[in-house]
Structure 1
């Protein structure tokens, strides 16, 4: 049986980005980050500012985001949310041509 390295942080950040964006108005925030390139920039920016966690799982095994999030301390979740919100503003400011 084979094994693979799984990034535990990436799916968590992707889900949290989606949740945070729901708090923002459709235009320009949700519209801008519906653009694949801007969404990827946002996720990369957040991942670059937080510690990433990895694990080794069997090739056939899938990760459960719900299980991960329920075991994350509140302080870490709030810190990620703050980073996501700041990154949203920074990326929109740097990429005004994408949403104007």
Structure 2
């Protein structure tokens, strides 16, 4: 039988991100993270700070997996929850995020003369 390496962490993180953003009190956060690029950055932020769990299994069984939440303890689930909130705050603190979310286009700023040249 053909074996496949399955990342169990990614579906957990993406499900938690969806749940948290759906319940987030500020609509602007949900609107910003509706942009796929920013959602990917948030996912990458969380995944970079977690131990990733992989398993090797039969490739047909890998497609049938529905629940992978048992791979982490309740403390680790709380950590994932905290990392998602930290990621939301960290990514929204960057000015380029706000520029992209306004109309989903990059906002051009006016050229400002530099005082460096005198």
Give the alignment's TM-score, normalised by structure 1: 0.88
Q: Which runs of 4+ in 1 moved over 6 A?
A: none
Residue 30 of structure 1, CA deviation: 0.5
Q: Is the 8 A contact 1:28 1:99 kept in 2?
A: no
Which residue is 2:101 aligned to? 99
Gaps of 5+ in 2: 103-118
Residue 58 of structure 1, CA deviation: 1.0
**CA shift digits 1:18-48 (9 cap, x unpaired):** 1111221453111111100000100011000
State whether structure 2 residue 60 is matched by structure 1 residue 60.
Answer: yes
In angstroms, what is the RMSD of aligned CA positions?
Answer: 1.5
Residue 69 of structure 1, CA deviation: 1.5
Give the alignment's TM-score, normalised by structure 2: 0.76
Q: Which structure is higher in helix share?
A: 1
Higher relative contact order (CA 8 A, sep 6+): 1
Gaps of 5+ in 1: none
